[in-house]
Amino acid sequence: MSSLWGSSKVRYSALPTSDTGSDDMYQHKDYESLDFSSAFSYKSAFTYSKVLPPYVQEKRTYSPPLATRVCSKLVIILSYLFVLLTFPITGWIAIKSIEQFERLVVFRLGRLQEPKGPGMVFVLPFVDKWRRVDMRTRAFNVPPQQILTSDGAAISIGATVYHRITDVTLSIASIQDLNHSIRVLGQTVLLSLISQHSLTSLNTYKQNLNEQIQKELNKATQSWGVEVSRVELSEVTVIQESTPMSAEKVGGILGQLAGQMTGGGTPQANWIQSLIGASSGMQPVLLPPSNTPIPAAVPRRDTPTTTTLAVTPDELMAMITPILNVELVQNVDAIYVFHITGENGGTYYLDLKTGSGTVGRGNHPTCKPGVELAMSSDDMQAIFYGQLRPFVAYMSGQLLLDGDRDVAMRLDRVVARLQEAKC
């Protein structure tokens, strides 16, 4: 068949019925060739290239037009003449002193040059743009993250990451904000790996986890010209011990609740399914999607929180009012909206962002809340009485939220101030 790749024939042969290797295999009548070569010739109007995309291990080169090259050379020559004629003055600008642990990355008329240094380095004023890169080992802390382990324990753990720049060119040209990107990557890898282990393994195999996190970080940072040399996990703070109600059992209960909500498909059922994925799949995505509405009703657990005295949400808001002040507003800096279900339920807001703080019934009249919380009146009482921590309530499904999870966890500061006032 004549085509773009030349002339060829396509033949299909039936499988032989005789044993492989026999002398008469190719003479057997069952071994026949059928010729499907076409009597026509085709030639495509398109051409196809097998060249890899420019972002797959390919060095991209750019050859500017002749006029651009001539103008660039002319500007560079004039810059050298200007420095030569005004050397006593421009020498302070054109000559840079680079330390042994530093390198200078220079862009001349927008084009990247070879790194310079250490020692005395010459740059052209008004033509070269340069950046000084420190190649010494640096360290940053991953703030303690609240994570649910594979055995259902709630912990808080952070890490210290040591890294250094090995390729100054890549560190400047391949990524926009190197420090921020490494910090975000470290936090993501920490959440992903820790959530796959149990509380016992975290304490027993901490050194192996350090090496595993370091390996995962280096996979991404090598293309940035950065090497992670060491990772040290912080001490594990146990928020809630692992209980017989493991992550699988929690997922099963939530699944039954989702099935009872009209067979699924409702916003409440979809939201519960996201909790199941967070508890059983051990993914570090603990927040529901921002476009998912707060469920109208909060699923009640089998064993309600036991409290010594029943207090209505209105009475709880009245207890919070005396502790509101400017210091608490600056410490929390957030607006909360509570959707309370059960007896004497309703919607309430707690403004700890403006003025000296305010509380009230209904939605906030002017500002958008930082987070909306849905819970029962019993759980609300348990939280504000210090019997149930917001994070534990969130992990167990007693507290549903829409918004920033970190803002929701700042309720601990309000509870602590409330307990101090009682004392």
Query: pLDDT for 126-178, tens place per residue?
Result: 899 999 999 999 999 988 888 888 888 888 899 999 999 999 999 999 898 89
Minimum mean pLDDT range among 57-61, 340-344, 349-353, 403-407:
57-61
Is the pLDDT at 69 greater than 50, yes or no?
yes
Q: Quote the pLDDT of residue 248.
A: 52
Reported confidence tier of residue 240, pLDDT bands at 50, 70, 90: confident
pTM, entire model:
0.52
- Average pLDDT over every residue of 35-45: 50
Is the pLDDT at 11 greater than 60, yes or no?
no
Q: Quote the pLDDT of residue 390.
A: 85
Q: Quote the pLDDT of residue 281.
A: 42
Q: Where in the chain is the domain with CATH 3.30.479.30?
A: 138-240
CATH architecture of 313-422: 2-Layer Sandwich (3.30)
Is the pLDDT at 378 greater than 70, yes or no?
yes
Is the pLDDT at 196 greater than 60, yes or no?
yes
The tens digit of pLDDT for each residue in 330-359 reads: 888 889 999 998 878 889 999 998 888 899
Percent of the chain with pLDDT over 90: 23
Phi, psi for residue 92 in degrees, rounded to 5 = -70, -25
Which residue has better confidence, 136 or 240?
136
Is the pLDDT at 229 greater than 80, yes or no?
yes
Reported confidence tier of residue 31, pLDDT bands at 50, 70, 90: very low
What is the chain's mean pLDDT, rounded? 76
Q: Quote the pLDDT of residue 388.
A: 85
Among 64-73, 88-97, 211-220, 252-261, the range with the most confident prediction by mean pLDDT is 211-220
What top-level class would CATH report for the domain 138-240? alpha beta
Q: Quote the pLDDT of residue 282.
A: 40
The tens digit of pLDDT for each residue in 270-312 reads: 544 444 444 444 434 343 333 444 444 344 444 444 444 578 8
Q: Quote the pLDDT of residue 279.
A: 42
- Average pLDDT over every residue of 189-217: 90
- Average pLDDT over every residue of 11-37: 49
Is the pLDDT at 61 greater than 90, yes or no?
no
Q: Where in the chain is the domain with CATH 3.30.1050.10?
A: 313-422
Strand-pair partners of 97 = 120
- Average pLDDT over every residue of 76-88: 88
Is the pLDDT at 266 greater than 60, yes or no?
no
- Average pLDDT over every residue of 63-78: 86
